[in-house]
Amino acid sequence: MAYEKELDAAKKAASLAARLCQKVQKALLQSDVQSKSDKSPVTVADYGSQAVVSLVLERELTSEPFSLVAEEDSADLRKDGSEDILQRITKLVNDTLATEDLTKAIDSTLTTDDLLRATDCGTSEGGPNGRHWVLDPIDGTKGFLRGDQYAVALGLLEEGKVVLGVLACPNLPLTSIAGNKNSSSSEETGCLFYATIGSGTYMQPLDSKSDPVKVHVSSVENPEEASFFESFEGAHSLHDLSSSIASKLGVKAPPVRIDSQAKYGALSRGDGAIYLRFPHKGYREKIWDHVAGAIVVTEAGGIVTDAGGKPLDFSKGKYLDLDTGIIVANEKLMPLLLKAVRDSIAEQEKASSSL
């Protein structure tokens, strides 16, 4: 398999980061004192996850220059008054690394300075040349705080093209969520999706060595039988526009709303057939919100484009320049979806101009 060494390192890094996040989320949900408006748990998990991924990738792949495009830098952790949270993150990262035999990868117990340096490895700008890892250490922070879906999303760009993606989804059931967005507590959860270019997409349990299974997107051809995913948070996507598009397609099922790139993972195994994401005007999509998810879906047979039908271009740095939004479907549904998107957007623009 192409990129085998890189894939092994990415799977290890994302799985360990997910383990760290699970520990923080469990403590958060068990705590009566912790206000859901208190963002410190997600801060600890976010920085801790990024540091773990950075450290594991850098030490596992020593033979090549290391470039990481990620969400966080250490500026806030260096401010006065941040010492306690920095100590918490450093301890959490050390505890996480100690659970795995990483003696070859990590030389010794990390200091707070090591933690800051590892965090700042994620300040690359990306671009069209060379290799760049792309990370969202916790994609779906609001889902994380609620105890719902989130993902550690890690991808690799080579000369501006996505060649590898890993999604660690700790709360996603191993069985389909189609028609069942509220999973029962008895269901086994925790999925690891991964894909490399030209090799397909695979899923395996996050916390076991079970053999991976190859997955494929839904083969539904009739839009009336299709279900669609959209963001849980209304602030992240225009639900009214999605509803109009679904209506034009004749989709009968209500939308499945979940947080994070766990949607891409669920789509890759056929839990739904369509994903619609239409951010509010002025919002700029970041590449780390889509790099890993996009290849996981495309290698499973899906198509990911902007609202105009153009492929996503990850070679421009940290941001995506998009036509209106992002849409995902299988090959059969995509032409119908594009038409419904065009018609709905045109109607919306006409209504706005007549006000």
Extract the tokens encoding 238.
Answer: 């225009």
**223-353 maps to which CATH number?**
3.40.190.80
Ranges 37-46, 210-219, 265-274: which has the least confidence: 37-46
Tell which CATH classification among 3.30.540.10, 3.30.70.270, 3.30.1440.10, 3.30.465.10 matches the domain 4-214.
Answer: 3.30.540.10
What confidence tens digit (pLDDT) does each residue in 159-200 have? 999 999 999 999 999 999 986 545 455 689 999 999 999 999
CB neighbourhood size of 199 (10 A): 16
pLDDT band for 103, please (50, 70, 90 cuts): very low
139 carries a ligand binding annotation: yes
Average pLDDT over residues 140-149: 92
Tokens of 290: 């889509």
Per cent of the chain over pLDDT 90 is 77
187 is in an annotated binding site: no
For the annotated catalytic residues, the residue numbers are 46, 141
Rounded to two decimals, the pTM is 0.94
> CA distances (Å), 252 to each of 224, 243, 338, in order?
6, 11, 18
Query: What percentage of residues in the chain have a pLDDT greater than 70?
Result: 92
Q: Does residue 236 carry a pLDDT above 60?
A: no
Tokens for 91, please give them: 């301890």
Is residue 207 marked as binding?
no
Beta strands 161-173 and 68-70, pairing class: unpaired
Domain boundaries defined on the chain: 4-214, 223-353
Over 90: is that where the pLDDT of 333 sits?
A: yes
CA distance 59 to 165: 19
In Å, what is the CA distance from 50 to each residue of 57, 70, 169, 260? 11, 8, 15, 16
CA separation, residue 43 to residues 137, 138, 152, 168 (Å): 10, 10, 14, 18
71 is in an annotated binding site: yes
Predicted local confidence at residue 294, as pLDDT: 98
Residue 194: helix, strand or coil by DSSP? strand
Does 37 score more than 60 pLDDT? no
